[in-house]
Copies of this chain bind each other. A is one copy, B any other.
Amino acid sequence: MTINIGFIGPGIMGRPMALNLMKGGYKLWAYARRPETLQPLTVAGATGCASASEVAKHADVIFTIVSDTPDVEAVIFGEQGIAKHARPGSVIVDMSTISPTATKAFSERLEKLGLEMLDAPVSGGETGAINATLSIMVGGKTKVFERVKPLFECMGKNIVHIGENGAGQVAKACNQIVVAVTIEAVAEALTFARKNGADPAKVRDALMGGFAGSKIMEVHGKRMLDNDFKPGFKVGLHQKDMRIVMETAHQLGLALPAAAMVTQHLNALMGTGDANLDSAAIVKVIARMSGI
């Protein structure tokens, strides 16, 4: 039996992900808000659709990867949304990074309509999307996860079923907390070295092998030393993800003091017009703050 796949939101991340699904031999039905972004997919053999509803008419598994929580809600439950025309038993796989609590609510609404949902946010960036090496963090029922797993394997390498609906988004939020706060750690340390007149490059070398060593020290530490903030992962997107973290913490009554502070440093970068820099630019906030 051919699985007909739907794909909604073929942007910078979504386009290569959809192409990798097609390389896996699946027939693809696609929709994008701006029709011109569909072209690379239709050229590769996908069928362009005029709405999310139309995608849902043809597909058994429908992937969505859009910007933010309200976009996912619109694409699923809106006037021209997936839910309206989806066939019973269809699976909606949301690969956007959005609110874990909203995700849980969406999956409950869909269940009442006889539809399944997985949340499956990714990390690994555009490079990971192109090379099909994304990390995929999945929330939802085990049997639904097992059904969609071969499709995930067309797009990623490290595919982990975290738990129930929303748990994938929780893991992604945790990822963004750790990345942001570790960038802050490296930024403060390298600025401390500079201000003390010690060579931050030598300090980084000395620290890399021990307990202070991390992927962030390696990659983002290097960006800080080279003063090269070409993304990577943009401040504007990291700020959005941290807003989701802080909203969720607010809803849960959970204090996350370091995450909250780093969110302020991302806000500061938005204020200085640095939205399109890599989030390693947090080091600029630390330096500016003390007139360095």
Contacts and interface: CB of A to CB of B under 8 A. Distances in A.
A256 B174 contact: no
A243 to B, nearest CB: 14
Contact of A177 (B185, B257, B261): B185
Copies in the complex: 2
B174 A193 contact: yes
A35 B145 CA distance: 66
A254 B195 contact: yes
A195 to B, nearest CB: 5
B198 A162 contact: yes
Contacts of A199: 162-163, 167
A158 interface: yes
A256 B195 CA distance: 11
Q: For the complex, would chain A's binding face be called helix, strand, loop or mixed by DSSP majority?
A: helix
A219 B211 contact: yes
A110 interface: no
29 contacts: A123-B210, A135-B206, A158-B206, A160-B202, A162-B199, A162-B206, A163-B199, A163-B202, A171-B198, A171-B206, A173-B192, A174-B207, A175-B206, A175-B212, A177-B192, A178-B214, A181-B181, A181-B182, A182-B182, A185-B185, A188-B256, A192-B248, A192-B259, A212-B215, A214-B217, A257-B261, A257-B286, A258-B258, A258-B262
Contacts of A160: 202, 205-206
A214 B182 contact: yes
Contacts of A171: 193, 198, 202-203, 206-207
Interface in A242-285: 245, 248-249, 252-259, 261-262
Interface of A: 100, 123-124, 135, 137, 139, 158, 160-164, 166-167, 170-171, 173-175, 177-182, 184-186, 188-193, 195-199, 202-203, 205-207, 209-217, 219, 245, 248-249, 252-259, 261-262, 286, 289-290, 292
Nearest to A187: B258
Given A182-B214, A210-B123, A163 B195 contact: no
B202 A174 contact: no
